[in-house]
């Protein structure tokens, strides 16, 4: 975003009232949403009325493209299963994929902290090159800035990716209907818990790694068998499955009902969540996606995912219903249920 914007004339009302920016505003939950909808959207997005998705659709000379931008801020830079560079490439490709686009090219900006060892930077650049290679995307340019020691936590990476929209795939919350099935590509919570443990503040150890990966091939596999039935997709990053599905419930005006026993998660994620009093549905994922599919296509979609490499653990975790409108309900086999809301800020360990 380089300064001038063509929103001239009428002043659009800013609804964002928080006096200062806090960590919660970046956590992907309610506070983040308030910031985007209350400050950025009125001033920058020209209030087109489009839902704010992971990527924007544009037409250039009649051809449909998707464009997305994202920034990557993670501490520590390297963690079991990946690093900031891989998150950057995979995250961008995934945003495009769940918007129904095949990422073609990316540009990358580095904000580097003075004093960052070159070996660290080189390792990240190599990781990005490898991830881009695996994902089949070209990194075609970028920018670099250096800031003083003490800022930038080592490095921040921003990416912008552009992709070609897959022909029969439309992603639109307004097309979602009661009876549609909710599909999840694999176990939840791996990334967020790995990062939490890697920070070392809680002194927990587990055999866990981030699930960061490019899920384009899974989306393509699903689209190959069930494209006409795919209504909506999103990758549940910060804020977790709960936040993503709450956004869908809000945007569609429908309810989402999940069956707790169907939601896959690794033992270690479960153990960490129980120990710390966290809900796995609020934990970030970097290699999964949610898809809402019309019931007559659900079996084909699930089958296609299960057959694809990396999609073996994909499953149906719930369905869309009229009630509870605008909310997400998690039910259990014995009949107990609870509403799961969007996160406010980052998930916090609790002792009570």
- Using DSSP, state whether 277 is helix, strand or coil: coil
Length of the chain: 352
Nearest to 238 by CA among 283, 276, 290: 283
The partner residues of 258 in beta bridges, in order of sequence, read 318, 330
Q: Is 36 in the site for another protein (CB under 8 A)?
A: no
Q: Which of 107, 206, 209, 300 binds another protein (CB under 8 A)?
A: 206
Span of 108-116, 136-144, 221-229, 272-280 interacting with another protein by CB under 8 A: 272-280
**What does DSSP assign to residue 276?**
H
Q: Is 23 in the site for another protein (CB under 8 A)?
A: yes
Span of 90-98, 109-117, 126-134, 263-271 interacting with another protein by CB under 8 A: 263-271
Residue 255 CA to residue 339 CA, distance in Å, equals: 10
Residue 233 CA to residue 46 CA, distance in Å, equals: 24
Radius of gyration of the chain (CA): 20
The nearer residue to another protein, 179 or 224, going by C-beta atoms, is 179
The nearer residue to another protein, 32 or 68, going by C-beta atoms, is 32
Q: Which of 270, 295, 310, 313 binds another protein (CB under 8 A)?
A: 270
Beta carbons of 265 and 314 less than 8 angstroms apart: no
Q: Is 323 in the site for another protein (CB under 8 A)?
A: yes
Q: Which of 277, 306, 307, 312 binds another protein (CB under 8 A)?
A: 277
Q: What is the maximal distance between C-alpha atoms in the chain?
A: 58
Nearest to 77 by CA among 28, 122, 108, 15: 122
Span of 122-130, 231-239, 284-292, 330-338 interacting with another protein by CB under 8 A: 330-338
The nearer residue to another protein, 214 or 316, going by C-beta atoms, is 316
Q: Which of 122, 133, 267, 296 binds another protein (CB under 8 A)?
A: 267
Q: Which of 274, 296, 306, 312 binds another protein (CB under 8 A)?
A: 274
Q: Is 76 in the site for another protein (CB under 8 A)?
A: no
Residue 158 CA to residue 133 CA, distance in Å, equals: 18
Q: Is 22 in the site for another protein (CB under 8 A)?
A: yes
CA distances, 184 to each of 24, 232, 263, 273 (Å): 26, 12, 8, 20
Tokens of 257: 């009902």
Beta-carbon neighbour count of residue 133 at 10 Å?
Answer: 12
Q: Is 150 in the site for another protein (CB under 8 A)?
A: no
The nearer residue to another protein, 224 or 345, going by C-beta atoms, is 345
Per-residue DSSP letters for 87-118? HHHHHHHHHHHTTTEEEEEEEEEEEEETT--H
Nearest to 328 by CA among 171, 31, 320, 336: 320
- Using DSSP, state whether 119 is helix, strand or coil: helix
Binding mask of the shown chain, residues 216 to 235, with x at each position contacting another protein by CB under 8 A: --------------------
The nearer residue to another protein, 91 or 192, going by C-beta atoms, is 192
Applying the rule CB under 8 A, the residues between 109 and 138 that interact with another protein are none
Q: Is 332 in the site for another protein (CB under 8 A)?
A: yes
Q: Is 207 in the site for another protein (CB under 8 A)?
A: yes
Least distance between another protein and beta carbon 270 (Å): 5
Task: Give contact residues for another protein (rule: CB under 8 A).
Answer: 20-24, 30-31, 181, 201-207, 255, 257-259, 261-262, 267-268, 270-272, 274-277, 315-319, 321, 323-327, 329, 331-339, 341, 344-345, 348-352
């Amino acid at each position: 975003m380089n300064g001038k914007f063509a929103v001239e004339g009428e002043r659009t009302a800013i609804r964002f009232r928080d006096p200062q920016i806090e960590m919660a505003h970046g956590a992907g939950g309610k506070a983040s949403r308030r910031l985007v909808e209350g400050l950025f959207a009125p001033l920058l997005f020209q209030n087109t009325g489009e839902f704010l998705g992971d990527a924007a659709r544009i037409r250039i000379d009649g051809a449909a493209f998707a464009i997305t931008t994202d920034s990557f801020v993670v501490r520590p830079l390297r963690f079991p299963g990946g690093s900031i560079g891989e998150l950057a490439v995979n995250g961008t490709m995934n945003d495009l994929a769940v918007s129904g686009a095949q990422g073609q090219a990316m540009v990358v900006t580095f904000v580097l902290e003075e004093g960052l060892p070159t070996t660290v930077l080189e390792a990240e650049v190599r990781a990005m090159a490898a991830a881009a290679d695996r994902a089949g995307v070209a990194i075609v340019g970028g920018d670099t800035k250096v800031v003083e020691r003490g800022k930038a936590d080592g490095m921040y990476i921003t990416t912008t990716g552009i992709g070609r929209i897959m022909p029969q795939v439309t992603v639109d919350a307004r097309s979602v209907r009661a009876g549609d099935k909710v599909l999840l590509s694999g176990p939840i919570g791996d990334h967020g818990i790995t990062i939490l443990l890697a920070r070392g503040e809680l002194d927990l150890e587990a055999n866990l790694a981030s699930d960061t990966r490019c899920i384009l091939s899974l989306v393509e596999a699903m689209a190959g068998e069930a494209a006409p039935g795919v209504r909506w997709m999103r990758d549940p990053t910060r804020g977790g499955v709960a936040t993503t599905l709450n956004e869908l419930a809000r945007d569609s005006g429908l309810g989402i009902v999940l069956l707790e026993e169907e939601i896959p998660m690794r033992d270690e994620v479960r153990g960490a969540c129980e120990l710390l009093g966290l809900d796995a549905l609020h934990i970030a994922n970097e290699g999964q996606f949610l898809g809402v599919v019309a019931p007559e296509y659900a079996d084909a979609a699930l089958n296609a995912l299960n057959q694809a490499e990396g999609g073996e653990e994909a499953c149906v975790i719930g369905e869309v219903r009229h009630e509870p409108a605008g909310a997400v309900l998690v039910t259990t086999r014995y009949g107990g249920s609870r509403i799961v809301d969007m996160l406010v800020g980052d998930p916090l360990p609790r002792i009570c």
